[in-house]
Amino acid sequence: MKSEIRNEKEILLKLDDVHVHYGGVHALDGASVAIDEGEIVALMGPNGAGKSTVLKAIFGIAPVHSGEVLWHEKRFKPVPHEVVARGIAFVPQGRRVFKYLTVEENLEIGGFIVGDKKELARRMAEVMETFPALKAKRRTKSGTLSGGQQQMLAIARGLMVDPKVLLLDEPSLGLAPKIVKEVFENIKEINERHGTAIVVVEHNIKSILGIVDRAYVLAKGKVAAQGKPEELLSSGVLEKIFLGEK
Amino acid sequence: MEYLIHLAVMSSIYAILGMSLNLVVGYAGLLSVTHAAFYGVGAYAVGILTVSRGYGFFEATAIGMVCAAAAAWFIGIVSGKFKGDYYALVSFGFNIIVFSIFLNVQSVTRGPLGIPGIPKPELFGTAIRTNAQFLILSIVFALLTYAISQWIVKSSFGRALKGIREDEDALRVFGYDTARYKRIIFMIAAMLAAVAGSLFASYISYIDPSTFSLNESIFILSLVILGGLANVNGSVFGAIVFILLPEILRFVGFPPDIAAQMRQVAYGAILVLLMLYRPQGMFGEYKL
């Protein structure tokens, strides 16, 4: 299952043999991941496998010890504000909306690098169209929104920069199953409507495999398997990694 | 009447201190206990430059603002490496350092002897001699501080400050250079505190280091907490209450030797009660 099964589209983003160390702990131990234009890719694996660290390494908020991060096949040193400017948006784990700010203010923060007020307004209108529930609550303090609405706001905030790649860290965390379904539908819709490539770290394997094009399975900081959802499901690799079956 | 004017002048000066500190503590969420240092820098700039060097009040105030901004820039770089309780401790340390400079660099500050005979300001060649005239000047500065504070907190810059307060790491994800934002607001607050210091020095006409000790920083922080974090109006309210409170206690009839201690007890009791029952202060939107 380690064969490179990807389509013919251009590689947007690539991690090549990346090592991330937190003191003596090797969170990533030579992980290589590639994201093509317009695809949805899942990063799966047990706790501590290094899934979230992959996203943090791309975004420059994890200490990359060695290896390369490439954007359009060109090496770059990830620094958050430069990564955003390249067209990569990050929706961190736990939503982390600014609770004392309104929905609109949260979105304006998301569009910080846009600069031009007209363009910011245009993007806000577009994002509100994708998430109509937010439009009705635009002047509401985000701390009073439900968990599902906060997750939508977190994703919407990431979309404010019109990203080419959207990194989502456990978007279903702490949400009711009905809301998780809604969030995943939103993810699919964003991908189809805007052609945004999406990398999603997710524990909810069954649900996420229903919407992704490919998935990487990580274990102990390495890529243990990768492939299309149906191949991963039929191969038994998921049971082996998650349940330790031989 | 003179007594009431005096209270109004002091309330205006402390309102400037409260509003400026609220930008740092209430809006940016940085628990700074060093504001009296910048207050002192402004006061000493006016004291030294007007008495020894013949500068006018407004020139000396401008120089004091620049000195306070420079000090804040340096302190901001060092303290910017810390967060939460550690930030408060570092700021605490800086207040002690600046206080020690006021106390010990006697060739410049005259140390514990202080600087007497600080002249009143002159505006277009006319000296501001009466307390009523000084009240107008201090209210003008307080209103300017109010306008600047409101402009900041309603701008995109103010929004970013609130973002820093709530989740600095999350804000960086959107491309914000949060360290720069923190340094800038710290410098703005320091400059405004220096204005309060220059008004105080000129009004009282005498300064010594004891006015700018750590206790003073805690006093300013307390009035900000009383009025409410992240509420500019609240800081004005806090300043008025904290200036009027000791005056009210005068009428309770404590013996003179314990009256001063009772004021400290009253301030402390207010803080404890606030933390217990209203941690966001009277009008605040955010609690520590």
Domain that holds residue A168: 11-243
Residues of A whose CB is below 8 A from B167: 96, 98
Q: Is residue B268 part of a domain?
A: no
CB contact under 8 A, A108 and B166: no
Domain assignment of residue A190, yes or no: yes
- Please check whether residue B8 lies inside any domain of the structure: yes
**Complex ipTM over 0.85:** no
Instruction: For chain A, say whether B180 makes contact (Cβ under 8 Å).
Output: no
Residue A5: which pLDDT band, with cuts at 50, 70 and 90? low
Measured in angstroms, the CA of A28 and the nearest CA of chain B are apart by 21
CA dist., res. A162 & res. A113, Å (int): 11
* Chain B neighbors of A98, CB-CB under 8 A: 162-163, 166-167, 170-171
CB atoms within 10 A of CB B206: 12
Q: Which helix (H) or strand (E) holds A189?
A: helix A177-194
E-strand ranges in B74-172 read 115-116, 122-123, 126-127
Task: Write the DSSP assignment of B32-93 as a string of letters.
Answer: ---HHHHHHHHHHHHHHHHHTS---HHHHHHHHHHHHHHHHHHHHHHHTT--HHHHHHHHHH
CB-CB neighbors (< 8 A) of A61 in chain B: 169, 172-173
**CB of A109 less than 8 A from some CB of B:** yes
Q: Please give the Cα distance from B166 to B159 (Å, whole number).
A: 11
pLDDT score of B252: 75
Question: Is B139 part of a structural domain of the chain?
Answer: yes
Q: What is the CATH number of the domain that holds A146?
A: 3.40.50.300
Coil/strand/helix, residue A92: coil
pLDDT digits (tens, 9 = 90+) for A203-217: 888 888 999 999 999
Confirm whether A6 is domain-assigned. Answer: no
- A142 contacts on B by Cβ (under 8 Å): none
In a domain, A3, yes or no: no
Angle at alpha carbon of residue A139, lines to B226 and B173, rounded to 5°: 80
**Is residue B179 assigned to a domain?**
yes
> Is residue A23 included in any domain, yes or no?
yes
Classified as helix, coil or strand, A144 is helix
- Write the pLDDT tens digit of every residue in B223-247: 999 999 999 999 999 999 999 988 8
Distance from CA of B227 to the nearest CA of A (A): 18
Q: A157 CB near a chain B CB, below 8 Å?
A: yes
Residues A23-76 have pLDDT tens digits of: 888 999 999 999 999 999 999 999 889 999 999 999 988 989 999 999 999 998
Distance from CA of B160 to the nearest CA of A (A): 7
Please report the pLDDT score of residue A109 as a whole number.
Answer: 95
DSSP state of A96: -
**How far apart are alpha carbons B28 and B25 in whole angstroms?**
6
Full residue range of the structural domain in which residue B22 is found: 2-213
Tokens of A118: 């007209």
Tell whether B160 lies on the interface with A, counting CB pairs under 8 A: yes
Determine contact: B285 vs chain A, CB below 8 A: yes
B106 Cα to chain A: minimum distance (Å): 47
Which member of B159, B170, B285 has the closest CB to residue A92? B170
∠A220-A41-A185 over CA atoms, to 5°? 125
Q: State the pLDDT at residue A3.
A: 46
Of B160, B166, B171, the CB nearest to A100: B166
B24 located within any domain? yes
Residues whose CB is less than 8 angstroms from the CB of residue A26 and which lie 6 or more positions away in sequence, other chains included: A19, A20, A221
Name the domain count of chain B. Answer: 1
Mean predicted lDDT score pLDDT of chain A: 90
Residue A176 confidence (pLDDT) = 87
Taking CA atoms, what residue in B is nearest to A102?
Answer: B159
User: Residue B162: which of A92, A101, A112 has the nearest Cβ?
Assistant: A101
Residues facing A14 on adjacent strands: A34, A70
- Between CA A216 and CA A51 the distance in angstroms is 9
Please report whether residue B226 resides in a domain: no
Residue B283 within a domain: no
Restricting to B residues 49-108, those with a Cβ less than 8 Å away from any Cβ of A are none
Domain presence at residue A1: no
pLDDT along chain B (288 residues), means of 10: 93 98 96 96 97 94 98 92 89 95 95 95 88 96 98 96 93 91 97 98 96 94 94 96 86 76 84 88 83
State the nearest Cα–Cα gap between B24 and chain A, in angstroms.
17
Question: A59, B162: Cβ pair inside 8 Å?
Answer: no
Adjacent-strand bridge partners of A69: A15
User: Is residue B99 assigned to a domain?
Assistant: yes
Q: Is residue A143 part of a domain?
A: yes
Interface test with A, best of B155, B172, B173 (most A CBs within 10 A): B173
On the CB side of A182, how many CA atoms lie within 13 Å of its CA? 16
Question: Is the Cβ–Cβ distance between B109 and B101 less than 8 Å?
Answer: yes
B177–A61 CB contact, under 8 Å: no
Domain assignment present for A38? yes
What pLDDT band is residue A8 in, cutting at 50, 70 and 90? low
The tally of domains found in chain A comes to 1
Q: What is the pLDDT of residues B83-108, one digit of tens each?
A: 888 999 999 999 999 999 999 999 99
**Residue among A100, A110, A113 minimizing CB distance to B162:** A100
| CA-to-CA dists, residue B113 to A38, A120, B65, B206, B208, angstroms | 73, 58, 24, 10, 7
